[in-house]
Chain A
Amino acid sequence: MSRTGSLRRSFLPRLSPALPLYLFTLVFVLGPLVYMLALSFMHREGAWGVAAEFTLRNYQRIGIPEFAGTFVQSILLSLISTVMVIILGYPFGYFMARLDKRWRSRVMLLLIIPFWTSSLMRLYGWIIMFRANGPLDILLMGLHITREPMRLLYSYPAVVTGMIYALLPFMIYPVYASAEKLDRELVEAARDLGASPIRAFLTVSLPLTMPGLFSGVVLTFVPSMGLFFIADILGGNKVVLVGNLIHEQLMKAHDWPFAAALSVVLMVMTSIFIYLYRRLSRTLGGSGELEGLV
Chain B
Amino acid sequence: MNKQGFLKKGYVAVILVLMYVPILIVIIYSFNTSRLSSAWSGFSLRWYGELFRDRALFNALRNSLVLSLSSSSLAAIIGTLGAVGTERTADARSLRARTGKILEYLSLLPIMIPEIILGMVLLVFFSLLALPLGMFTLIIAHTCFCIPYVYMVVKARLAGLDKSYVEAAKDLGAGDWRAFYDITLPLILPAIVSGMLIAFAMSFDDVIVSVFVTGPDTNTLPIRIFSQIKTGVTPKTNALCTLLFAATVILCLASAALGKSRSNNRGI
Interface residues of A (CB under 8 A from B): 1-2, 5, 16-22, 24-26, 28-33, 35-36, 39, 88, 91-92, 95-96, 98-99, 105, 107-114, 116-129, 131-135, 165, 168, 222-223, 225-229, 232-233, 243, 246-247, 250-251, 256, 259-260, 263, 266-267, 270, 274, 293-294
Chain B, residue nearest A259 (CB): B120
- Can you pick out 13 interface pairs between chain A and chain B where the beta carbons lie within 8 Å of each other? A20-B82, A21-B107, A28-B144, A35-B121, A39-B124, A114-B19, A120-B241, A121-B241, A124-B229, A126-B22, A127-B229, A132-B38, A294-B267
Interface residues of B in 220-268 (CB under 8 A from A): 221-222, 225-226, 229-230, 233, 237-238, 241, 244-245, 248-249, 251-253, 256, 267-268
The answer to whether B107 and A112 have CB atoms under 8 Å apart is no
Q: Which one of B110, B117, B149 lies within 8 Å of A226 (CB-CB)?
A: B117
- A257, B252: Cα distance in complex, Å: 43
A21 touches B12 (CB 8 A): no
B182 part of interface (Cβ distance < 8 Å): no
Main secondary structure of the interface of A (DSSP, over half): helix
Closest B residue to A129 using CB positions: B25
Interface residue B77 (Cβ < 8 Å from any Cβ of A): yes
In-complex Cβ contact of B205 among A17, A30, A119, A132 (8 A): A119
Are A294 and B149 in contact, CB atoms less than 8 angstroms apart?
Answer: yes
Besides A21-B107, A28-B140, A113-B252, 8 other A-B contacts (C-beta < 8 A): A21-B85, A29-B107, A99-B9, A116-B252, A120-B229, A123-B229, A129-B25, A246-B120
Q: Which residue of B lies closest to A245 (CB)?
A: B116
Inter-subunit contact B26/A232 (CB<8 Å): no
The interface on chain B, measured as residues whose beta carbon lies within 8 A of the other chain's beta carbons, has a size of 89
Tell me the complex Cα distance, A289–B203, Å. Answer: 24
Residues in A whose Cβ lies below 8 Å from that of B39: 133
| A226–B124 CB distance below 8 A | no
Report whether over half of chain B's contact residues are helix, strand or loop; otherwise say mixed.
helix
Q: Which of B1-29 contact A (CB under 8 A)?
A: 8-9, 11-12, 15-16, 19-26, 29
Q: Which residues of B sit under 8 angstroms from A22, Cβ to Cβ?
A: 82, 100, 103, 107
Inside 8 A of B9's CB, which chain A residues have their CB? 95, 99
Q: A226 contacts B230, CB within 8 Å?
A: no
> How close is B260's CB to chain A, nearest CB, in angstroms?
8
Q: Are B115 and A226 in contact, CB atoms less than 8 angstroms apart?
A: yes
- CB–CB A225/B114 < 8 A: yes
Q: Interface digits, B94-116 against A, CB 8 Å rule (1 contact, 0 not)?
A: 00000010011011011011111
In the assembled complex, the CB of A252 is this many whole angstroms from the nearest CB of chain B, namely 12
The 8 A-B pairs at the shortest CB distance, nearest first, are namely A125-B22, A18-B85, A226-B114, A21-B82, A226-B116, A32-B125, A17-B85, A121-B241
| Contact A21–B229 (Cβ < 8 Å) | no
* Residue from the list A20, A112, A114, A223 in contact with B78, Cβ < 8 A: A20
- Minimal beta-carbon separation of A155 from chain B (angstroms): 16
Residue of A nearest to B103 (CB): A22
B191 to A: closest C-beta gap in Å: 10
A120 CB → nearest B CB, Å: 5
User: Contacts of B153 on A, CB cut-off 8 Å?
Assistant: 294
The reply to whether B241 and A267 form a contact with Cβ atoms under 8 Å apart is no
A232 interface neighbour in B100, B143, B152, B230, Cβ under 8 Å: B230
Bound complex: CA A32 to CA B38 (Å)? 44
Cross-chain contact A118 with B77 (CB below 8 angstroms): no
- Min CB gap A131→B, angstroms: 5
In Å, the complex CA distance between A124 and B116 comes to: 21
A110 touches B78 (CB 8 A): no
In the assembled complex, B93 has its CB within 8 A of some CB on chain A: no
For residue B67, CB closer than 8 A to chain A, the reply is no
Interfacial residues of chain B within 71-88, with CB under 8 A of chain A in the complex: 77-79, 81-82, 84-86, 88
With beta carbons under 8 angstroms apart, the residue of B16, B124, B156, B222 that contacts A111 is B16
